[in-house]
Amino acid sequence: MNSIILGTGRYLPSNVVTNHDLAQRMDTNHEWIVERTGIHERRFAIPGVDTTASMGTEAAKRALDAAGLSPHDVDLILFATLSPDYYFPGPGVQLQHNLGCRTIGAIDIRNQCSGFVYALSIADQYLRNGAANHVLVVGSELHSGGLDMSTRGRNVSVIFGDGAGAVVLGRTDEPGRGLLSTHLHSQGEHAEELALLGPSTRDWIPEIIQRNDPEDVSYFPRMNGNFVFKHAVVRFAEVIEEALTSNQLSTSDLRLLIPHQANLRIAQFIQQKLGLREDQVYNNIMRYGNTTAASIPIALSEAFDEGRIQKGDLLMMAAFGSGFTWGSALMRW
Ligand code: ACO
């Protein structure tokens, strides 16, 4: 019996922020952003309305509706995010409460851009061994409140957007269908190349205040963009080939690749490197920016609603990001 996705859902805040809007706040321009990232606009949470937990809840409700299930049917919650409402507890428990689930387990996943793929891998273990019948996997991110919107932070802040995506997984006894494999990787030596360093337990708020250094912006994400780009294109291709090889499949078998929406240039590079046709790769970063752990479930939900994935299609989900972490999930829909 394989794990299978029974329903998908997504929630995007209604607040559309264009590149021109960002250019009002920092020294950047539409052409630069489109040329380097492919992004035209993104959504920013509405303060007081959208939070990481609330967006995740809405996406989860839609996924449950699509699956024809109720919150009482859920046996386990997996919530992937790097931008929780609170430092602790993580948003998994908020989701359990908001949905009115039974007092089931709620696990928080913090593997950044790879969070959704990591969560799928864990869900698969629970479903295969019978410990759960239905697992709810959510990716939700609220980046906008924590980005440096001055020119100093422009290399990072133009990339990210807010939103949430969710799936409900169950089991199928149809031979060959469902989740065929997951592969996970990490390389912590590059942890600080894409990170938010503080405040943290090794550099807490009193220490930061004591330094009284106006240049200290450790509370904003930092990214060595070139370094991340070079590693991303290698690891994405590697992990996709690893999944295909271990299932004795090839790129021509793929109906759709949904890469984590990091940067359109990265996705195009992988497409070329693997010799995939344009219709074999799903991209929506143009409209939503990089929503980290939410990007794959948002794209999956959209691709499904657009009819881009049909029963029997081979679907590859692959991610790379901060950690570094990367991984794949290969599924026969
Ligand atoms: N608007 C205008 N100019 C900018 C901006 C901006 N938003 N950001 C940087 N610049 C300037 C820089 O100051 C620099 O100017 P200089 O030459 O006068 O010093 C110039 O543009 C080039 O800057 P680079 O940082 O070298 O630009 P690069 O070509 O590397 O593009 C980018 C930056 C888009 C971040 C790229 O490195 C990238 O995509 N890296 C991959 C990282 C990524 O995708 N991260 C997403 C999160 S991680 C993940 O999900 C995998």
Spatial neighbors of 25 by CB under 8 A, at least 6 apart, are 149, 150
pLDDT at residue 272, rounded to an integer: 98
pLDDT of residue 206: 83
Identify the pLDDT of residue 201: 87
Are 323 and 112 contacting, i.e. CB atoms less than 8 angstroms apart? yes
Report the amino acid identity of residue 322.
Answer: S
Is the CB–ligand 1 distance for residue 28 below 6 Å? Answer: yes
List, for the chain, all residue ranges whose pLDDT scores fall below the cut of 50: none
Known catalytic residue at 260 = yes
Pocket test for ligand 1, best of 155, 285, 296 (most atoms within 8 A of CB): 155
pLDDT value at position 158?
Answer: 98
Distance, CA of 252 to CA of 235 (rounded, Å):
20
Report the distance separating Cα 139 and Cα 112, nearest Å.
10
Atom of ligand 1 nearest to the CA of 263: 44
CB of 225 shorter than 6 A to ligand 1: yes
State the DSSP code for 281.
Answer: B
113 Cα nearest atom in ligand 1:
50
- What is the set of domains in the chain, with CATH numbers? 2-172 (3.40.47.10), 178-332 (3.40.47.10)
Distance 321 CA to ligand 1 centre (A): 16
Give the whole-angstrom CA distance, residue 234 versus residue 231: 5
3-state secondary structure of 217: coil
The region, left, alpha or beta by phi > 0 then psi within -120 to 50, assigned to residue 130 is left
Asked if 64 and 71 touch (Cβ cutoff 8 Å), the reply is: yes
Give the per-residue pLDDT at 200: 87
Buried b or exposed e, range 302-333, using 16+ CB within 10 angstroms? bbbeeebbeeeebbbbbbbbbbbbbbbbbbbb
